[in-house]
Amino acid sequence: MKHQFEGFIDDLKATHGENLASVILYGSAAAGDFVPQQSNYNLLIALHRITPEDLRNAHASVREWLKMGHPVPIYFTVSELSEAADVFPIEFHRMETARKVLFGTDVLADVKISDENLRHQTEYELRSKLIRLRRRYIPASSSVEGLTGLMAESVSSFAALFGAILILRGIEPPATKQAIIARTAEILRLDGTIFEKILNIRGNGSGEALNEAGANRLFGAYMEQIEKVIDSVDKAGTS
């Protein structure tokens, strides 16, 4: 990916000039937990100012980045980073835990993250993703490929939220998804083997061969564990 990053950053420098303050890679790729064809390259682009013209000018460089299969980077002004950390604590904790500065200065180094809204955001995100998982299960339930793909895709986003749960418990989350899930399973007394099976599917397609009935059973067990996680977060809010 080095040449792709370098090419994209060159495009951003040509587009934004001195307005470009920083480009930061964060998440699984920065943590060394990247899985080809499953993980994303998450980029934060910090500008000194952001106008509609700045965003329009970024269209060409971002379009080429999208063509390579990567998500649209998130844009912040440098000043917004400090102001937004209390509104998006989960995302900022992810950046704090694993990031790599690709260009410019580390604009996140002095950002203070407030956890005042962390429990609320965590429960909201967990419930939203569970609802989405149920909806997507309906069309996926008739094939092994659909089910395994759905589980493999969704476990990554749940792992990010499990990291927030550990922070709520006063525990610094590990860098990798597998370690985060294992620690959360231990703390909340979940069946960690369910997640291990899905992580094996996600990582390299290994693990036990599943027929349609087996894939549906695994999904049911997976959903049950997620519901237990949500229940624990909800109870933490009423204690």
Per-residue pLDDT tens for 137-179?
Answer: 999 998 999 999 999 989 988 998 999 999 999 998 887 889 9
pLDDT value for 33? 63
Rounded Cα distance between 139 and 150, Å, is 10
Q: What angle do CA 238, 132, 215 make, to 5 degrees?
A: 110
> Tokens for 122?
């965590």
Q: Residue 25 — φ and ψ, nearest 5°?
A: -90, 130
pLDDT surpasses 80 at 2: no
Distances 215 to 28, 36, 142, 177, 224 between C-alpha atoms, Å: 26, 23, 10, 22, 14
Q: What is the pLDDT of residue 135?
A: 95
Judged against a pLDDT cut of 60, whether residue 36 lies above it is answered with no
Tokens representing 69?
């299969």
Beginning with the edge strand found earlier in the chain, give each strand of the sheet holding 42-47 in spatial order. 74-77, 42-47, 20-26, 99-104
Q: Is the pLDDT of residue 39 over 60?
A: no
13, 40 in Cβ contact below 8 A?
Answer: no
Tell me the two tokens of residue 10: 């060159």
Instruction: Check if 2-104 and 118-238 are the same fold.
Output: no
Q: What is the pLDDT of residues 74-106, one digit of tens each?
A: 999 999 998 887 788 888 888 887 889 999 999
Residue 62: predicted pLDDT: 92
Exposed/middle/buried for residue 15 (C-beta within 10 Å: 0-12, 13-18, 19+): middle
Neighbours of 153 (CB within 10 A): 14
Q: Where are the domains of the chain?
A: 2-104, 118-238
What fold does the segment set 118-238 form as a domain?
Four Helix Bundle (Hemerythrin (Met), subunit A) (1.20.120)
* Choice between 130 and 82, residue whose per-residue pLDDT is larger: 130
Question: What pLDDT score does 231 carry?
Answer: 95
Ranges assigned E (strand) in 62-171:
74-77, 99-104
In CATH terms, is domain 2-104 a member of 3.30.460.10? yes
Residue 19: which pLDDT band, with cuts at 50, 70 and 90?
Answer: very high
Is a pLDDT exceeding 60 seen at residue 38? Answer: no
Q: What is the mean pLDDT of the chain?
A: 88
pLDDT of residue 193: 95
pLDDT class for 205, splitting at 50, 70, 90?
A: low
In terms of pLDDT, which residue wins out, 80 or 2? Answer: 80
Instruction: Report which of 186, 226, 43 is spatially closest to residue 174, judged by C-alpha positions.
Output: 186
In the beta sheet, which residues pair with residue 23? Answer: 45, 103
Q: Which CA distances in Å does 37 have to 28, 175, 215?
A: 13, 20, 21
The 3-state DSSP composition of the chain as helix, strand, coil percent (nearest 5) reads: 65, 10, 25
- Looking up tokens 């429960």 gives 123
Question: Which residue matches tokens 């599917």?
Answer: 201
What is residue 18's predicted lDDT score, i.e. its pLDDT? 96
pLDDT over threshold 70, residue 34: no
